[in-house]
A = this chain, B = another copy of it.
Amino acid sequence: MAKVAVVEGDGIGHEVVPVAREILAAVRPDFEFFDVEVGYGLWERTGSACGEETIADLQSADAILFGAVTTPPDPGYRSVLLQIRHALDLYANVRPIQGEGVDIVIVRENTEGLYSGIEWTEPDRACTVRVVSRRGSERIARYACTLAGSRRHLTIGNKANVLKSDCLFVEVCTAEAARMGVPCRARYIDALCLDLLMHPDLYDVVVTTNMFGDILSDAAAYLVGGLGLLPSANIGKRAALFEPVHGSAPDIAGQNIANPVAAIRSAAMLLSHLGDPASAAAVEEAVHRVLRAGIRTRDLGGVAGTREFGAAVLREVGQR
Residues of A within 8 A of B (CB): 71, 75, 79, 82, 114-115, 119-121, 124-136, 159, 161-165, 167-168, 189-191, 193-194, 197-198, 211-212, 214-215, 217-219, 221-222, 226-227
In the complex the two chains form, is A159's CB within 8 Å of B211's CB? yes
Q: Given that A194-B218, A219-B194 are contacting pairs, would A162 and B82 also be in contact in the complex, using a CB cutoff of 8 Å?
A: yes
In the complex the two chains form, is B131's CB within 8 Å of A125's CB? yes
In the complex the two chains form, is A168's CB within 8 Å of B125's CB? yes
A131–B114 CA distance with the chains assembled, in angstroms = 12
Q: Given that A197-B222, A219-B193, A219-B194 are contacting pairs, would A125 and B119 also be in contact in the complex, using a CB cutoff of 8 Å?
A: no
In the complex the two chains form, is A191's CB within 8 Å of B218's CB? yes
In the complex the two chains form, is A128's CB within 8 Å of B165's CB? yes
A106 to chain B, nearest CB (A): 12
User: Which residues of chain B come closer than 8 Å to A125, judged between CB atoms?
Assistant: 131-134, 136, 165, 168
User: Which residues of chain B come closer than 8 Å to A190, judged between CB atoms?
Assistant: 214-215, 217-218
In the complex the two chains form, is B124's CB within 8 Å of A131's CB? no
Q: Which of B114, B161, B163 has a CB less than 8 Å from the CB of A119?
A: B163
